[in-house]
């Protein structure tokens, strides 16, 4: 009887993959927020803990199934592949941007643009330097890893455009994820010291940090009202990185390495 009920439950959950994915993510967030509240007193935001749980789950699922899509390789959690896809991600970012007050957004002005530019070029330099120190000499690999330091989206986009190997693209994604988690965790700790308490500073911060998930998670733990402003410039940051990394930044790196 119990085996029959279990079999029926598995079939129902597998047949309604997207709903199962929403329920699974909701349970993970519930557990992550509880851990954040009781173990860290809110110092580490629940989103950061949820990302770590997700990465651990993806590693475990990949080990068990031998697949390449993390938990989405498990039939019961196949809906995670759609829920975590680019379509719903971009929809969520766009929906967040609608909360922005245009009057406050204009206050960023030239500083916001400079923050975007610096936040794109500086991480690329840091990531490319780290790749060089790690022993990479191929300009394509160095540019891809440098782009990953901008965001974990810019890294694979750049790698695909330049023809990087899958191993290098994976490293670029890992670099971007590490950056996102660090930004998410550190933001509430330093917010008071850097004056991160108004829409203008949130937009500049989002432009400098760039990672949408890291910025939104960090600002949510600092002041939820600042999330739309940080997410707005962080979103532009991703687009700017996808434009500059495989073109201007890669060509600049080539010129430096051939001098």
pLDDT tens across 93-139, in order? 556 556 555 565 566 667 777 888 888 899 999 999 999 998 888 89
The pLDDT confidence band at residue 1, using thresholds 50, 70 and 90, is: low
Please give the Cα distance from 178 to 172 (Å, whole number): 10
> How is the chain split among helix, strand and coil, in percent rounded to 5?
85, 0, 15
What pLDDT does residue 240 have? 81
Rounded Cα distance, 192 and 207, in Å: 18
Which letter does DSSP use for residue 226 in this model?
A: G
Q: What is the pTM of this model?
A: 0.70
pLDDT at residue 94, rounded to an integer: 59
pLDDT, position 99: 57
Alpha helices by DSSP H, listed for 40-165, are 46-65, 80-83, 86-97, 102-106, 109-133, 139-150, 154-162
């Amino acid at each position: 009887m119990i085996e029959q009920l279990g079999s029926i439950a598995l079939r129902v959950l597998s047949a309604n993959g997207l709903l199962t994915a929403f329920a699974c993510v909701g349970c993970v967030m519930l557990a992550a927020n509880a851990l954040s509240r009781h173990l860290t007193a809110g110092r580490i935001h629940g989103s950061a803990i949820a990302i770590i749980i997700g990465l651990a789950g993806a590693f475990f699922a990949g080990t068990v199934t031998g697949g390449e899509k993390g938990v989405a390789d498990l039939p019961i959690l196949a809906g995670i592949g759609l829920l975590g896809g680019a379509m719903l991600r971009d929809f969520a970012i766009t929906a967040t941007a609608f909360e922005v007050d245009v009057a406050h957004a204009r206050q960023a002005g030239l500083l916001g643009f400079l923050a975007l530019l610096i936040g794109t070029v500086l991480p690329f330099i840091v990531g490319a330097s780290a790749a060089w120190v790690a022993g990479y000499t191929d300009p394509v690999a160095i540019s891809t890893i440098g782009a990953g330091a901008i965001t974990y989206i810019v890294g694979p986009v750049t790698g695909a455009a330049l023809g990087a190997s899958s191993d290098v693209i994976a490293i670029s994604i890992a670099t971007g994820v590490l950056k996102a988690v660090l930004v998410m965790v550190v933001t509430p700790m330093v917010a008071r010291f850097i004056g991160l308490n108004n829409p203008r500073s949130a937009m500049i911060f989002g432009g400098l940090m760039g990672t949408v998930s890291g910025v939104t998670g960090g600002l949510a733990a600092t002041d939820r009202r600042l999330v739309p402003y940080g997410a707005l410039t962080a979103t532009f940051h991703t687009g700017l990185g996808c434009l500059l990394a495989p073109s201007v930044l890669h060509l600049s790196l080539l010129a430096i390495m051939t001098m």
